[in-house]
Amino acid sequence: MSELLLEVKDLKIHFFTDEGVVKAVEGIDLKIERGKTVCLVGESGCGKSVTSLSFLQIIHAPGKIVSGEMVYYRQTPDGTTWEIDLAKLNPKGRKIREIRGAEISMIFQEPMTSLSPLYTVGNQIIEAIRLHSKATKDEARKQAIEMLHRVGIPNPDRLIDEYPFTLSGGMRQRVMIAMALSCNPTMLIADEPTTALDVTTQAEILDLIQELQQQYGMAVLFITHDLGIVAEVADDVAVMYLGKIVERGSVDDIFNAPKHPYTQALLHSIPKVAMKREDLEPIQGMVPSPFRRPNGCSFHPRCSKAMDICSQIVPAVTAIDDDHTVQCLLYEDVASRAEVERAQS
């Protein structure tokens, strides 16, 4: 069996605004194993990025983790493992600062806004290295040049003194990867790292992440809405909709035997070679406003298989097999559950 690295239990993240409470993440469970790639997929606005930011405790006000656990299984140099609940750490405290960037690192979605235009590429990578190690400035510079070389940047000894705005999108993305990997993290979070890149550069970035994953043996949480990328890189897949993980399983389970109507609709919406425009099957409707969440199953207003009871009962997690779960009333004994709920009320 693979060894657990991060276990998320019933995580809830709410944003307290003047208009009301936005339940961005509403009780998710997720497991990430060492050396494996987990893809978190779903439409824009379903809570994928907020979930990943919570692992680093960098959710800004008015957002807040209101409940749940994020158990990180940290290994010490002597090989022993001890548990840390990341949800309970002070976002500005010493413990999370030791983990953030060093053991759990992140490639952000847009490198131009994540890299400071006021400092050179080298200054920003060197700062990350020196923050988490005892390297001198010269030693950190050598490490930064070596890391830039490993991510495929030509003439790294020259580019290290360039400013981010002088680089192309693909080069900036490689710099972000170099910075994220500069401290040899145990887990890498990649938040749509190929967005806005051309197809050729996308393929190069994906190959680079997989190559470095094998080299360093790290786990990868890959956040995307591109199912083509998921099929190429994932070991396990979690499908997210409106703050909940509605289906979770291996990449083979999700692509070959999808259970949730939302997962099925996502797969049917993928354009195929030689397909005509009128043959595309988009998902009907829009993701509901988080201020007006539907009662019952959150997907039922857009679901082609919805039943009357779907607007009344929130689906529970149903195990299809050991590694495949789904939240859908189609796979529950609804009559028995209704009896239980009536008895409890």
Tens digits of residue pLDDT in 132-180 = 888 999 999 999 999 899 888 889 999 999 999 999 888 888 898 889 8
| CB of 121 closer than 8 Å to CB of 164 | yes
Cβ-contact 43, 241 below 8 angstroms: yes
**What is the model's pLDDT at position 160?**
94
Instruction: Extract the runs of DSSP E, i.e. beta strands, from the chain.
Output: 4-16, 21-33, 37-41, 63-75, 81-85, 104-107, 187-191, 219-224, 236-241, 244-250, 317-321, 324-327
CB 127 within 8 A of CB 115: no
Tens of pLDDT, residue by residue over 197-254, are 777 877 888 888 888 898 888 999 999 888 888 988 999 999 999 999 999 999 999 9
Q: Given a cut of 90, is residue 78 above it in pLDDT? A: no
135-139's contacts with Cβ under 8 Å and 24+ in sequence apart are none
Provide DSSP, 220-265: EEEEES-HHHHHHH-SEEEEEETTEEEEEEEHHHHHHS--SHHHHH
Three-state secondary structure call for residue 140 = helix
Tokens 């961005």 locate to 24
**Least confident piece of the model among 85-94, 185-194, 333-342:** 333-342
Cα gap 69→148, rounded to integer Å: 36
Cα separation, 32 vs 86, whole angstroms: 14
The count of other CB atoms within 10 Å of the CB of residue 315 is: 23
Confidence of residue 80 (pLDDT cuts 50, 70, 90): confident
Question: What does the alpha-carbon distance between residue 237 and residue 282 come to, in Å, rounded to a whole number?
Answer: 21
pLDDT for 218 equals: 92
Q: Model's pTM, two decimal places?
A: 0.88
Q: How far apart are the first and last CA of the chain?
A: 42
User: What's the rounded mean pLDDT across residues 107-135?
Assistant: 88
State the residue for tokens 């949480």: 221
Least confident among 81-90, 132-141, 266-275: 266-275
CA distances from 121 to 100, 128, 151 (A): 20, 11, 14
Q: Which of the 8 DSSP states describes residue 218? A: -
Share of the chain above pLDDT 90, in %: 51
Mean of the per-residue pLDDT values for the chain?
88
- Contacts (Cβ under 8 Å, ≥6 apart) of 244: 26, 27, 28, 298, 327
Question: What is the spatial distance between Cα 233 and Cα 176, in angstroms, rounded to a whole number?
Answer: 19
